[in-house]
Structure 1
Amino acid sequence: MAVIELETALEKKDFELLSNLGMTAANNGIWLWLVGGSVRDIILGSQINDFDLTSEAPAEDLGKLLIASHHGLIKSKSQFKTQKLVFDSTIIDLATTRKETYAKPGALPVISWGSLEEDLIRRDFSINSMAVSLHPDNFGILVDKNYGQQDINNRLIRILHPSSFLDDPTRLFRAVRYQIRLGFDIENQTLGLINQSSPFIASISAARLRREIELILHEENSVEILMEATRLEILSHVNPLFKTSLLKNPLIQSIQRGCKGNVLLGVLGSVLPEKEILNLKKRLGVTKKQAKILDDINYLKKIESIFTAPLDANHLYSMLLATDREAILVIASTTSNPMVARNLDRYLAGNLLRMPLSGAELIELGLKPGPEIGMMQRELRCAMIDRIILDKRDAVLFVLTKLEESLN
């Protein structure tokens, strides 16, 4: 029977905490297990940000016992009766072992109490279906009936049963996330089931689908994940125009800019015509911020030809002042016209420039408090972008000249 040497794999404070939690549970007749991604990451030698624990006891009762015994606190609870506990700086996700059934593809699971074995078989992939005992009688013993450690050694992503993707189509996105994040391959049978199951993405609710897309957008290798999800025709079930032929070049260009998060969502939207952007907003149930980015990308695409000639800062500000910065970055990153990128980059850089004169200093120079201050600050920023102003002395002379002109 395999044993995981937790003492050598974990930081001292985390090892001592898990040992003590296991001892407290055992003293109350409860077997506590380290499960899921935590076990996977320990075997891989990866950094662990929080720990997933489970037992056959009700999580609410066990959570109260553990925080009372070890000076912790309950940070949050979920609809699946899991609890997030905090002990100093260590975060513990505590759950009760459970079974899951699905009324239809894409539906949230109906949960009921289950054994440890039933809890492990319900999980998404074999590499996430292992448990390590924290009970002092068999501390460190690995429970691995689904051959997760073998799949880690063979660097494979494998589902646990043929209906896995039908039960929960969000696993299609997770398969590619793990594939790229870990540098694994998707096992052949699992790969075939991805191709068969992708149409069931249509059954995922807008909120859950947006959540899966957002998780991808914030991964370290987010662009590579999107490209692989496009190649496997997973993204085409989010929008039929998300094809490799349309997305490849914009995604490659976005790597050079280090695009993440909502900017990458904008890159996806940038390949769509206006009607399809509206459909994407509805399908993902986007936030107000995301909707603003996608709408402004539409606006910029319509006026992009204006930026093909050199423009001074005043022209740039008049057209871009109300436009979301991340939308501008999307077009600057994906345009095929160097002059368009140059104009947009000048505007973006200007917004980051530190103003050489504060509002109070402008008042000291003779401006009246109120709208005049904002107008002068805009003129100063434009002059900085056009390199008319290089330092604070230039800025003072610029303001005094403008004041003198206003008196004549």
Structure 2
Amino acid sequence: MEKRKKLLNKLLNSKAEEYFSFNNKIIKVNNLIESDFKKLGQKTKNQIEADYLIIENEVYFNKQSSSLAQSKLNFLHKVKAGEHHLTAHNTLLYKNLSLDLNKALDLLEKYKKNKHQQASFLHYDSDLLDYLPQQRRKLLLKLAKEASLLGYNLYLVGGQVRDLLINIPLNKDLDILLEGDLKKFFVHLENKYGYQYDYNNKFSTGFLHNQYGFSIDIASCREEKYHFPGSLPLVEKADLFSDLFRRDFTINTLVIDLNPGRSGILYDFFGALNDLKNGILKVMHDYSFRDDPLRILRGIRFQILKDFKLSSKTIEISQRSLRNYDYHKLAIERVFTELSYLFKSKQDLSQFASVLLKEIPVLKLIKSDFEFSSSQKSNFLRAEKLLAQSRENSLGVNHFLVRLMILFYNSKESLIKSWPLSTLEKKIFVNKIWENIDFSIFEIKDPALKYRRLEFFKKEELIMFASLNFESDYIEEIFKHLKRRETLKIPISGHDLLDLGVKQGPEIKKYLLEVRDQILRHQIENREEALTYLKKIL
């Protein structure tokens, strides 16, 4: 949580502005932190009305109010009714930043209905773009300039903004929103710069190829409608506000304006900065998980891997959605793609089993009758300890497969084979060879013979055996073997055996293994000793 301070606090403690257009004039609203707001009220001896002040025709709000959305509604209704007569601001200067008052009222009602009590339309005049690497910043501003030539608006949204604010190392994934015709924008870029692109007309999304190695996803601002729970959406063009409202969590709704004249302005419409600081994941609306249950998995991943915590309301909605909606039409490939982001992680996932699976039965998306037993929990937690040990020793164990096998241990073969796994992964899972590992292997005194018996098994099979038979002696022997498997080198090759007169064929492998046996028995330590040994036995 310490890293969520410097840049984030700078913004949270600064003033934010809003602009509303009504009757051909622009109304400017100042949003202050609570302490500054109260000081202003005391200094001017003005009465605070519903968390806002009007001083010499300037409007001030307490942006930290827990009922900010309602306070804004009260204020805007009074403006509309003519109860507040405010000085108009420069129309040209604020025109592109302003929101129609009636639309603002509709949006705030919608946001408040979905429990976004701190919703507003906050604009932070920030220097956030200066924190981006230079090459990335230059490219984004170049694209925004080209969009503006077509009369379009361009925004940076999502993970890049979020991670920038909490000081997480930035990846090369750039999610960009366009208010405009995406196909025309791509054609414009191709004609002017020769940029190649992929365009999906159905979803109004595209990928812009570039020479810098960035993964640039651009989408037209859009709304989504779902025919049934978990279906792919029908997409309709919309504005920035509608696009942000359809997203998963508030922390992913922060936007940096890229447009000339407004570049660097940060928009926070849902109190996302506060949620970022507090490490809270709040779902955007009550039907978010009904529409796309994969957002539940995404939220769990954020909680485990990025140090966030699902809000109680978000947990409640996820539970209700998994209980009430039928997701059997949800494409299993989509579930596994999202699950793999979590299960391939080289971090400890104990929290997934110890807390979240009991609280949120999300694996019902894979197997509708999935039940999480106490023995599964124990085995999963044991497996996490073994996977951590495998990471410490750089053993290259398939974390995704081990975690999947532990959780779905007794699933039918037909189900496993229907999953989007590799042929080898399915074979390992279905055959369960670890169940046939003879305990007597670990009592073998000859290290060479023990090695030969254990090398028959894949790394994941040995980890599964150790998870289900969690005995220190077995674990020690298995990791000793796996580490040896990674480091053991035979100092001679088939070419040496050919030079010694051995014919090409299975005899080559036989003698190489003989040398390896002697190395394991500590009888051979180098190439010279290996060649001397071979000359004796040939």
- Please indicate, yes or no, whether the TM-score normalized by the shorter chain is above 0.5: yes
Larger displacement relative to structure 2 (23-32 or 317-326) = 317-326
* 2:319 paired with 1:195: yes
Of residues 249, 252, 255, the one that matches 1:131 is 255
- How far, CA to CA, are the matches of 2:445 and 2:209 in structure 1? 54
* 2:359 paired with 1:223: no
Larger displacement relative to structure 2 (367-376 or 258-267) = 258-267
* 2:499 paired with 1:373: no
- How far, CA to CA, are the matches of 1:279 and 1:311 in structure 2? 41
What residue identity is the alignment partner of 2:356? A
Answer yes or no: is the 8 Å Cα contact 1:159–1:190 preserved in 2: yes
* 2:375 paired with 1:253: no
Counterpart position of 1:399: 534
- How far, CA to CA, are the matches of 1:294 and 1:76 in structure 2? 38
Summarize the alignment of residues 7-406 of structure 1 with structure 2, pairs less than 5 Å apart: 7-49=129-171, 50-70=173-193, 72-74=195-197, 80-89=203-212, 90-199=214-323, 203=328, 204-221=330-347, 223-224=349-350, 226-227=352-353, 228-234=355-361, 237=364, 238=366, 239-241=370-372, 243-258=376-391, 262-270=398-406, 273=409, 275-276=410-411, 278=413, 281-282=416-417, 284-295=419-430, 298-310=432-444, 312=446, 315-316=449-450, 319-332=453-466, 335-352=469-486, 353-403=488-538
Unaligned stretches of 5+ residues in structure 1? 404-408
SS at match of 2:153: coil
Q: CA deviation at 1:370?
A: 1.9
Answer yes or no: is the 8 Å Cα contact 2:182–2:219 preserved in 1: yes
Q: CA deviation at 1:272?
A: 5.7
Larger displacement relative to structure 2 (330-339 or 205-214) = 330-339
Answer yes or no: is the 8 Å Cα contact 1:218–1:261 preserved in 2: no
What residue identity is the alignment partner of 2:127? E
Percent of paired sites with the same residue: 25
Q: How many residues align?
A: 401
Q: CA deviation at 1:318?
A: 5.2
Structure with the bigger percentage of helix = 1
- How far, CA to CA, are the matches of 1:334 and 1:188 in structure 2? 34
CA displacement, residues 24-51 of structure 1 (integer Å, 9 cap, x when unaligned): 1101211111112222122223222221
What residue identity is the alignment partner of 1:248? L
CA displacement, residues 369-394 of structure 1 (integer Å, 9 cap, x when unaligned): 22211222223233323333222122
What is the root-mean-square deviation in Å for CA atoms of aligned residues? 2.9
- How far, CA to CA, are the matches of 1:76 and 1:281 in structure 2? 34
Counterpart position of 1:406: none
Rg larger for: 2
Cα distance 1:245–1:225, how it changes in 2: closer, same or farther (>3 A)? closer
Cα distance 1:113–1:385, how it changes in 2: closer, same or farther (>3 A)? farther
Cα distance 1:91–1:82, how it changes in 2: closer, same or farther (>3 A)? same
SS at match of 1:34: strand
TM-score by length of 1: 0.87
Q: CA deviation at 1:330?
A: 4.1
Cα distance 1:174–1:351, how it changes in 2: closer, same or farther (>3 A)? same
Larger displacement relative to structure 2 (62-71 or 215-224) = 62-71
SS at match of 2:152: coil
SS at match of 1:276: coil
Answer yes or no: is the 8 Å Cα contact 2:286–2:317 preserved in 1: yes
Unaligned stretches of 5+ residues in structure 2? 1-122
Q: CA deviation at 1:292?
A: 2.7
Cα distance 1:236–1:27, how it changes in 2: closer, same or farther (>3 A)? closer
CA displacement, residues 246-272 of structure 1 (integer Å, 9 cap, x when unaligned): 422322332232288733432441466
What residue identity is the alignment partner of 2:231? A
CA displacement, residues 281-313 of structure 1 (integer Å, 9 cap, x when unaligned): 2464422132133245x1112224233423545
Larger displacement relative to structure 2 (70-79 or 60-69) = 70-79
Larger displacement relative to structure 2 (298-307 or 123-132) = 298-307
Answer yes or no: is the 8 Å Cα contact 1:4–1:142 preserved in 2: yes
CA displacement, residues 124-151 of structure 1 (integer Å, 9 cap, x when unaligned): 1111122221111321222332222221
Answer yes or no: is the 8 Å Cα contact 2:294–2:338 preserved in 1: yes
